[in-house]
């Protein structure tokens, strides 16, 4: 019994120790790495993946997966940019953009919950559909011509007390989601469904409703990520967020959440996203070519999962 | 006895992290013997068998196979020495054929070519199955076979590796009555062929029916070995629990009230025209053969299975039950037959499982109140005497009896009017059984109506106020407590008039 709880502690500490190890190595190899400027830049870059990964954590906890988040990000970003370009108030456009993401997520949820389609297949299909819709909507060109709004610029480029606003948004959302998972009935139901769907139905949990909720939340968070990215870049590219779903899944797995569902925590996902962000940033600083970066990232993910396996066995 | 001693285990001790789980245990298996290994959950039966088969290493003691000292390091070595285990969860790959399963990992090839000698394997599969006196097509897909047939395939597989000792762990747990009969015939046949069988089971009747000797373990101690035919049922029970158990079934003294539940003409694809009533504070036993549709009727009542027609009335009012949540809101709790698949979330803690159906009651708006939740769970742990290291322990690591208490306890949070218990004491040791019966009595004394499906006739007779017998999807009979006996129930369950 005692050994098990030690193992559980290790399970939880593992990602943090991994992040620390990477940070130490990078700070030795590159002196700029630990500068405040660089750390804030790095955090700002992490925001996008973190928001996708937060939603992905909920989805994976229910035993599902969402491959469409990258495309949702692009479509919601383009729609928001398009609305502003046609004169809609930026705040309203942002709200509608997030709502559009939630609707896309709900669409996934309905297909998966009511249509009983495997999440992998359902979101593989909508990944293509949403990307296609983005290309149709933008005619394959970046959406611009909305950059005169200072309010909108703030979302991606602003600072508050010297901290980038995207980073503040990320942490606020993180704490809200942490509370939802730990403290609310909805959060408990998310874990229960991933742990045993049958027992959840028989305990009176409205499993379909929870699933649709989870995918909607993920869609909304992906849209928010798309809006932040659009604001930062000053344009919405139809190719934005391409393959980001894989980084998001990697962050969740690095954080120690089980792909089988039912077990995991969102703090781990934050750490997982930071690991990916730190690696990207550090390797850039070191001047490693982006081709090699991919190999390093893949190797780190493999290493993390193998270490995790050995701890639990 | 002049039979050869196949296996002798002497003075076996084993500790896990300072916790002694076996203390100088002796056990032997003779050729042509069915030797029951009896003990409550946690008594050390599986640890002893795991030491025999080399999964665990013993701390002290000796093991002999036909007089030769052995020390197996893994199951491969024990298999080579002729020891096979038929696990409760069968090792069958459902998409492969019977023959492919039989020869998995030791396929017969044409020399060293790597090409499979299918013809030979089919012929051998037939032979081994024939030795058991069963007819199963070697080319049938294993997953399409009944559990009983799959078990036969595993036993045949054991024969094919020349097993002389076969350990059967709860072999009848998932079998129908007819399949159990068939299994007993096969066991007898194996015994005649000189095989020694270790028979692990909770079911006392089976042990008296099929075994030659019985050895009892309790809390890791070897209590003794008796010859069946020379030992009384009561003596075995007291060896098992270490005290006089008294009567297993507590006295039922309950005032039965008004009609609480009335079911009219309930019909689906597997049952038809089901009518019955349950009164306040009453225990309605539901008997019948496996597959008669007992569980299906209760699933329909709980909104977990579609019905074609029929009505459900609770306290005289018509209840609309389409989904489990509707049933729960009407005050029905359902303790399912399979607690691991349908009752518990194994990855969750004792606390989280207890409050799963009634989270709203321990929450303000939708935020869970830790204080309320802890109070509820601590109350339940005390009330049900759940043996756990605390409310945060994972339910996965609890014994069957304690898991079952949680599955029942989680429904008390909804203040049920009606509690459906499907095989409430399956896989539960005698001590916990008695506690569960007492809980049932307490609940009915508070006016809860209980519907109890059970395949154990003594339990049906011991606990029910009235007994409903289901036969092939229809009501085969209804008996009062005073008039019911095993014969009458079986008569109705098999379609007798």
pLDDT band, very low/low/confident/very high, at A4 (cuts 50, 70, 90): very low
CB contact under 8 A, B348 and A205: no
pLDDT exceeds cutoff 60 at A1? no
- Find chain A residues with C-beta within 8 A of B368's C-beta: 183-185, 188
If you measure CA to CA, which chain A residue comes closest to B392? A5
A192 part of contact set with chain B, CB < 8 Å: yes
Residues 306-365 of B with CB under 8 A from A: 324-325, 327-329, 334, 336, 341-348, 352, 356-357, 359-360, 363
pLDDT recorded at residue B398: 84
pLDDT recorded at residue A50: 97
pLDDT recorded at residue A276: 92
- The residue extents of the domains of chain A are 34-312
CB contact under 8 A, A185 and B336: no
pLDDT exceeds cutoff 80 at A114? yes
Pairing of strands B259-267, B274-279: antiparallel
- What's the whole-number average pLDDT of chain A? 90
CB contact under 8 A, A188 and B324: no
Please work out, in degrees rounded to the nearest 5, the angle formed at the alpha carbon of residue A266 by the alpha carbons of A260 and A269.
80
| Tokens found for residue A252 | 């969740």
- How far apart, in whole angstroms, are the C-alpha atoms of residue A202 and residue B435? 24
- How far apart, in whole angstroms, are the C-alpha atoms of residue B180 and residue A152? 73
Question: Residue B347: which of A195, A198, A203 has the nearest Cβ?
Answer: A195
Nearest to A254 by CA among A298, A199, A313, A196: A298
- How far apart, in whole angstroms, are the C-alpha atoms of residue A286 and residue A282? 6
pLDDT exceeds cutoff 90 at A166? yes
Q: Which residue stretches of chain B have pLDDT < 70?
A: 1-2, 17-18, 41-42, 242-247, 496-497
- Helix or strand or coil: residue B215? strand
Please work out, in degrees rounded to the nearest 5, the angle formed at the alpha carbon of residue B60 by the alpha carbons of B54 and B64.
55
CB contact under 8 A, B352 and A205: no
Question: Residue A199: which of B327, B344, B397 has the nearest Cβ?
Answer: B344
CB contact under 8 A, A203 and B357: yes
pLDDT exceeds cutoff 70 at A139? yes
- Find chain A residues with C-beta within 8 A of B367's C-beta: 183-185
Pairing of strands B221-227, B317-318: unpaired
Q: Which residues contact B398 (CB under 8 A, 6 or more apart)?
A: B350, B386, B387, B388, B406
A8 part of contact set with chain B, CB < 8 Å: no
Nearest to B451 by CA among B326, B250, B340, B288: B288
CA distances from A215 to A106, A130, A135, A222, A300 (A): 6, 15, 23, 10, 28
The pLDDT tens digits of the residues spanning A198-217 come to 999 999 999 999 999 999 99
In sequence order, the β-bridge partners of residue B217 are: B222
- How far apart, in whole angstroms, are the C-alpha atoms of residue A225 and residue A166? 9
- How far apart, in whole angstroms, are the C-alpha atoms of residue A232 and residue A158? 9
Mean per-residue pLDDT, A242-259: 92
pLDDT recorded at residue B246: 56
If you measure CA to CA, which chain B residue comes closest to A2? B17
Question: Residue B363: which of A4, A185, A194 has the nearest Cβ?
Answer: A185
| Tokens found for residue B385 | 């005497």
pLDDT recorded at residue B161: 85
What's the length of chain B?
497
A290-312 helix and A244-254 helix, angle to the nearest 10 degrees? 30
If you measure CA to CA, which chain B residue comes closest to A262? B347
In angstroms, what is the C-alpha Rg of chain B?
Answer: 25
Nearest to B6 by CA among B81, B59, B75: B81
pLDDT recorded at residue B335: 93
Buried b (16+ CB within 10 A) or exposed e, A49-72: bbbbbbbbbbbbbbbbbbbbbbbb
Inter-chain CB pairs, A–B, below 8 Å: 80
Pairing of strands B213-218, B34-38: parallel
Predicted ipTM > 0.85: no
The pLDDT tens digits of the residues spanning A173-194 come to 999 999 999 999 999 999 999 9
CB contact under 8 A, B348 and A262: yes
What region, left, alpha or beta, does residue B472 occupy, with left being phi > 0 and alpha being psi -120 to 50 degrees? left
pLDDT band, very low/low/confident/very high, at A2 (cuts 50, 70, 90): very low
pLDDT exceeds cutoff 60 at A3? no
Give A231→chain B minimum CA distance, Å: 34
pLDDT band, very low/low/confident/very high, at A8 (cuts 50, 70, 90): low
A190 part of contact set with chain B, CB < 8 Å: no
pLDDT recorded at residue B6: 93
- Helix or strand or coil: residue A23? helix
CATH architecture for segment(s) A34-312? Orthogonal Bundle (1.10)
Question: Residue A191: which of B329, B342, B348 has the nearest Cβ?
Answer: B348
pLDDT recorded at residue A313: 43
- How far apart, in whole angstroms, are the C-alpha atoms of residue A68 and residue B281? 54
The pLDDT tens digits of the residues spanning A60-73 come to 999 999 999 999 99
pLDDT recorded at residue B181: 87
Give A152→chain B minimum CA distance, Å: 33
Nearest to B143 by CA among B69, B90, B180, B186: B90
Write down all domains in chain B, each with its CATH number in brackets: 5-241 (3.40.50.300), 259-493 (3.40.50.300)
If you measure CA to CA, which chain A residue comes closest to B390? A1
Question: Residue A192: which of B302, B342, B356 has the nearest Cβ?
Answer: B356
Given a contact cutoff of 8 angstroms between Cβ atoms, the answer to whether B150 and B114 are in contact is no
Give A195→chain B minimum CA distance, Å: 5
């Amino acid at each position: 019994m005692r050994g098990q709880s030690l193992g559980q502690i290790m399970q939880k500490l593992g990602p943090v120790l991994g992040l620390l190890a990477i940070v130490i190595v990078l700070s030795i190899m590159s002196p700029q790495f630990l500068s405040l400027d660089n750390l804030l830049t790095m955090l700002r870059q992490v925001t996008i993946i973190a928001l996708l990964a937060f939603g992905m954590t909920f989805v994976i906890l229910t035993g599902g997966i969402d491959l469409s988040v990258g495309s949702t990000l692009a479509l919601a970003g383009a729609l928001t940019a398009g609305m502003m370009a046609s004169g809609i108030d930026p705040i309203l456009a942002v709200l509608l953009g997030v709502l559009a993401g939630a609707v896309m997520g709900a669409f996934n949820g309905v297909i998966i919950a009511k249509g009983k389609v495997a999440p992998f297949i359902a979101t593989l299909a909508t990944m293509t559909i949403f990307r296609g819709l983005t290309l149709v909507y933008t005619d394959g060109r970046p959406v611009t011509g909305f950059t005169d709004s200072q309010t909108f610029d703030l979302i991606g480029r602003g600072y508050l007390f010297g901290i980038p606003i995207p980073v503040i948004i990320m942490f606020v959302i993180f704490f809200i989601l942490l509370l939802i998972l730990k403290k609310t009935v909805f959060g408990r139901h998310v874990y229960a469904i991933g742990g045993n769907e049958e027992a959840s139905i028989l305990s009176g949990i409205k499993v379909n409703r929870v699933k649709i909720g989870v995918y909607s939340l993920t869609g909304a968070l992906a849209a928010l990520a798309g809006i932040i990215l659009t604001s930062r870049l000053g344009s919405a590219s139809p190719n934005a967020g391409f393959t980001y779903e894989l980084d998001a899944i990697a962050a969740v797995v690095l954080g120690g959440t089980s792909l089988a569902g039912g077990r995991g925590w969102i703090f781990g996902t934050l750490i997982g996203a930071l690991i990916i962000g730190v690696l990207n940033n550090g390797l850039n600083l070191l001047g490693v070519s982006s081709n090699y970066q991919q190999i390093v990232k893949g190797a780190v993910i493999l290493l993390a999962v193998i270490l995790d396996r050995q701890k639990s066995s | 006895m002049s039979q050869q001693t196949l296996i002798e285990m002497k003075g076996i001790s084993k500790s896990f992290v300072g916790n002694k789980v076996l203390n100088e245990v002796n056990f032997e298996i003779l050729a042509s013997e069915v030797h029951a290994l009896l003990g409550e959950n946690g008594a050390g039966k599986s640890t002893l068998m795991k030491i025999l088969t080399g999964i665990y290493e013993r701390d002290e003691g000796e093991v002999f196979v036909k007089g030769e000292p052995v020390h197996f390091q893994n199951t491969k070595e024990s298999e080579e020495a002729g020891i096979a285990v038929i696990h409760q969860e069968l090792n069958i790959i459902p998409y492969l054929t019977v023959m492919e399963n039989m020869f998995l990992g030791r396929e017969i090839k044409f020399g060293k070519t790597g090409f499979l000698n299918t013809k030979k394997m089919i012929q051998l599969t037939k032979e081994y199955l024939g030795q058991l006196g069963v007819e199963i097509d070697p080319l049938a897909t294993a997953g399409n076979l009944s559990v009983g047939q799959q078990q036969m395939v595993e036993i045949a597989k054991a024969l094919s590796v020349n097993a002389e000792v076969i350990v059967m762990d709860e072999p009848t747990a998932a079998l129908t009555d007819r399949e159990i009969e068939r299994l007993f015939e096969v066991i007898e046949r194996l015994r005649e062929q000189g095989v020694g069988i270790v028979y692990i089971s909770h079911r006392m009747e089976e042990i008296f029916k099929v075994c030659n000797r019985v050895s009892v373990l309790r809390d890791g101690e070897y209590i003794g070995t008796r010859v069946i035919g020379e030992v009384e049922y009561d003596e075995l029970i007291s060896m098992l629990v270490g005290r006089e158990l008294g009567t297993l079934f507590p006295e039922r003294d309950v005032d039965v009230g008004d009609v609480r539940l009335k079911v009219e003409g309930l019909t689906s694809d597997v049952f038809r025209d089901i009518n019955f009533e349950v009164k306040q504070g009453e225990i309605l036993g539901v008997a019948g053969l496996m597959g008669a549709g007992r569980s299906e009727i209760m699933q329909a009542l709980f909104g977990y299975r579609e019905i074609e027609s029929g009505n459900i009335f609770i306290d005289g009012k018509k209840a609309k039950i389409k989904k489990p949540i509707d049933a729960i809101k009407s005050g029905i709790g359902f303790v399912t037959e399979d607690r691991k698949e349908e009752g518990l979330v194994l990855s969750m803690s004792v606390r989280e499982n207890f409050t799963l159906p009634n989270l709203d009651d321990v929450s303000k708006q939708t935020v869970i109140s830790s204080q309320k939740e802890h109070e509820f769970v601590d109350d339940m742990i005390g009330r049900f005497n759940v043996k756990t290291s605390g409310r945060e322990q994972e339910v996965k690591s609890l014994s069957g009896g304690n898991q079952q208490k949680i599955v029942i306890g989680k429904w008390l949070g909804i203040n049920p009017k009606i509690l459906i218990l499907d095989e409430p004491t399956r896989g539960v040791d005698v001590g916990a059984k008695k506690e569960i019966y007492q809980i049932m009595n307490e609940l009915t004394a508070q006016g809860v109506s209980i519907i109890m499906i059970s395949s154990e006739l003594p339990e049906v007779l011991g606990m029910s106020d009235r007994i409903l017998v289901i036969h092939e999807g229809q009501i085969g009979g209804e008996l009062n407590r005073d008039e019911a006996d095993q014969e009458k129930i079986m008569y109705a369950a098999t379609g007798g008039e």
